[in-house]
Amino acid sequence: MGREQLVERRRALSGLPRAASISTRTMELLRSWGLEQQIRVGGVDVEWRQWVGPTLAEDGAAVQTSFPTREQSAVLSPTGPASVPQDHVEPVLLDHLRSLGAAHVELGTGVVSLDSGPDGVEVVLCEVGNGESRVVRASYLVGADGGSSTVRAVLGIPMRGHRLSTAVGTQFRAPLWDLLGDRRNCIYAVTHPGAAGVFVPAGRGDRWVYGVEYGPEQEPPKDYTEDRATARIRLGAGVADLQPRIERIGTFTFAAQLADRFRQGNTFLVGDAAHRITPRGGTGMNTAIHGAYDLGWKLAWVLRGWAEPELLDTYETERRPVAAHNVARSADPFGGSRTAAQELPADLGGRIPHVWLPATASARSDTTADRVSTLDLLGPGLTVFTGPHSTPWDRAAASVPAPVPLVVRNLDAITARGIGIHGSGALLARGSPCAPGTAPDAALPPSGSSRSSSAALATSPTCSPAGRWSSPARPDCRLRWRRRPGWHTPTCRVSSPSPRPSPCCSSGSTSCRSPTSYSPISASERSRRRSGVPDTSG
C-alpha cells in the first residue's frame, strides 16, 4: 500500500459538541483500535433514557431510547454506549491516525476539483491560507466532507430528501447535574410553553446544549440573543436565578437526505456527504462511522492484494440501504421507537457473538485486562474459531497458501458453543466482526482429514444473507441463491468463471443449508421435518 493523504479544509478541528451519542457497535469499533478508554474519559455517565417533563426541576417520566441499557450491553457486548461529544472524539481519532504514521494529514487544504475514472483519481487541492493549488493523483478518493460536500457536488451526484426544520442550539455551562440528582439520562425534553426544547449533556462537567425549534424566516437569528437564551434556559430548568455561562449560540438544519450514489469511478462518499440524518434516534454519527469502517477495510484488502477490486462494489450495496433506513427513521417522529412485533426475530448478517475469555486466550501484547472478548481475538485478515476438536483446521490453516493473513483461535467447548460452533466445526470471520461463516460438524469427513477443511479455508469468505453460513470462495467466485424444495431457508452455491470450482465442503458439494435457527418456520414444524413425520395438516 502507498501512503494515504488526508486533507481538511478547516485549519483546526471543530470545537462544537455536535453528536454526543455513541452506540454500542461504534464503541466496539473504537475498542478494536484500542481507543475505548480515551473516548470514555471525555464523556459523562448516563442511563440511556429520555426524560420528559415540564421543567428539569419538576417530576417527569423516563422513556427507554433505542440504545441498550448498561445491563443489556453487558450481556451483548464487551462495551456499551457512551455519551461523548464529537469535539472530544475527533481529536482522539486524529491523534490515533497520526500515531500510525501511515497517512499524511494536511489541515487548511481543500478540494477544488477532481476527475474520477476507473484507473484512479486526479484531484486539485488548494491551500486555504495562500491560495496555492496543486494536483494530486491517487488510486482512490473518499469524500468525507460533510453535508455540503464539494466532492459530491463536483461529481454531480444529487442528494434527495428534505430539509425538515431549523433549530437554534445554545452551548452553555450551568450546574444542572446538581439539580437533576440521580436522574442522569442522555436527553431531557421539557414541555414548558415558554421553553419547549431539549437539554443534552455535552461532555465532562456541567457542559450542556439546549436546543429549540426556530423559524429564521419569521425571526432573524441575530434576535436570539444571549439574554433571550438565558431566559429560556432558566424557564426550561425551572430555576429562576440560574446563571448559565453562554459559550455559543448557533442555528442548524434538520435534514433527512440520501445521495443517489455512494460511488462514482474510484471516488466514494461517506458520512454526511452520502447521507444526512436528523439528530432523532442518535444514528447520524454512528451510521457515518460504520460506513467509513466498512469502506476502509475493503479498500485495505484491495490495496494489499487480498481481494479483487470488485469487493468495493459491495460498499454501496451494503451500506446505502442501511443509510436509507436510518434517514427515513430519523424523519419519523416515532422512528426511534419500535414495538416487539417490528423487531427482527434474527440478527441477519450480524457480528459474531460476544463471549468473555481469560486474557491468556489472546495473543495481543497490548492488553492489560484480565479478560478479553471473542471480538478482541479477530485479526486484520481472516480468523478461524474452532472448538476442542481443532486438529484438522490447524493443519488446514498451516497448509493453505492464503493471500489473506489467517489466524486460528482454539476455544474451549463452552465458549465454542457460545459462538455457535459444535463438534469439530469452525467459524470463519474477517477482521470486521460482521457476517461470520459457520462450518457445521458435517463439514469434516469422519476420518478427520484436513483435505476438505483446507479447501474451505482457501481464500476470503463470501457471506450469505443469513449471515450465519458463509461459503469461503476464491476472489473470482460469487454466491448464487436458490431455494430447495421443502426448504424455508436459502442455500448458497459458489459459482466461478473457472471450469473447475473448488469444493467448499467435505462432501464436495457447494450447496449448504443455513442453520435451522434462522428458519422462519416454527419450532414444532422444524421438529416434525427433522423426525421425518409426514405433514397431515392438509
Residue whose entry in the numeric block shows the C-alpha cell 476442542: 388
474 within domain boundaries: yes
Q: Where are the alpha helices (DSSP H) in 137-280?
A: 150-155, 176-180, 226-237
Range of the domain at 222: 162-255
Same-domain check for residues 270 and 124: yes
105 within domain boundaries: yes
Residue whose entry in the numeric block shows the C-alpha cell 498451516: 398
Same-domain check for residues 183 and 284: no
CATH number, position 94: 3.50.50.60
Greatest extent of the chain over all pairs of C-alpha atoms, in Å: 82
pLDDT at 498: 32
Contact 480, 473 (CB under 8 A): no
Contact 185, 51 (CB under 8 A): yes
Helix (H) or strand (E) holding 429: strand 426-430
410 within domain boundaries: yes
Report how far Cα 186 is from the mean position of its chain's Cα atoms. Answer: 20
Same-domain check for residues 87 and 234: no
238 within domain boundaries: yes
Helix (H) or strand (E) holding 200: strand 197-201
Same-domain check for residues 482 and 367: yes
348 within domain boundaries: no
Interval 322-368: pLDDT, tens:
999 999 999 887 765 665 566 665 555 568 899 999 887 665 545 55
316 within domain boundaries: yes
Same-domain check for residues 284 and 175: no
pLDDT at 446: 37
350 within domain boundaries: no
Asked which of 255, 278, 310 is the last residue of a domain, the reply is: 255
Residue 191: pLDDT over 70: yes
pLDDT at 253: 87
What is the mean pLDDT of the segment spanning 394-418? 87
Residue 437: pLDDT over 60: no
Q: Where are the alpha helices (DSSP H) in 400-518?
A: 413-418, 451-456
Distances (CA, A) of 302 to 30, 319, 383, 459, 475: 23, 18, 18, 14, 11
Residue 459: pLDDT over 60: no
User: CA-to-CA distance for 157 and 49, rounded, in angstroms?
Assistant: 38
Asked which of 235, 255, 275 is the last residue of a domain, the reply is: 255
Amino acid at position 291, single letter? G
First to last CA, the chain: 62
Strands of the sheet with 437-439, listed across from one edge: 406-410, 382-386, 426-430, 437-439
Interval 121-162: pLDDT, tens:
999 999 998 999 999 999 999 999 999 999 999 999 999 999
Contact 237, 176 (CB under 8 A): yes
Buried b (16+ CB within 10 A) or exposed e, 190-229: bebeebebbbbbbbeebbbbbbbebeeeeeeeeebeeeeb
- 183 — pLDDT class (breaks 50, 70, 90): very high
Distances (CA, A) of 60 to 65, 177, 195, 235: 16, 16, 16, 15
Same-domain check for residues 268 and 244: no
Same-domain check for residues 320 and 453: no
211 within domain boundaries: yes
CATH number, position 175: 3.30.9.10
User: CA-to-CA distance for 20 and 198, rounded, in angstroms?
Assistant: 13
Using the Cα atoms of residue 340, residue 346, residue 352 and residue 357 in order, give the sign of their dihedral.
positive
Q: Where are the alpha helices (DSSP H) in 380-537?
A: 391-399, 413-418, 451-456, 523-531
Same-domain check for residues 205 and 216: yes
Same-domain check for residues 166 and 287: no
HEC secondary structure over 295-330: HHHHHHHHHCCCCCHHHHHHHHHHHHHHHHHHHHHH
Grid cell in block for residue 378: 479477530
Interval 54-106: pLDDT, tens:
999 999 999 988 888 888 889 999 999 999 999 999 999 999 999 998 889 99
The mean predicted confidence, pLDDT, of the chain is 80
- 298 — pLDDT class (breaks 50, 70, 90): very high
CB contact set of 328 (below 8 Å; sequence gap of 6+): 256, 335
CB contact set of 455 (below 8 Å; sequence gap of 6+): 502, 503, 504
User: CA-to-CA distance for 441 and 453, rounded, in angstroms?
Assistant: 11
The total of structural domains in the chain comes to: 3
φ, ψ of residue 233 to 5 degrees: the values are -65, -40
Same-domain check for residues 282 and 377: no
Interval 23-52: pLDDT, tens:
999 999 999 999 999 999 999 999 999 999
Grid cell in block for residue 220: 432573524
Interval 409-436: pLDDT, tens:
999 999 999 998 988 888 888 876 554 4
Asked which of 200, 235, 255 is the last residue of a domain, the reply is: 255
Same-domain check for residues 486 and 463: yes
Same-domain check for residues 436 and 473: yes
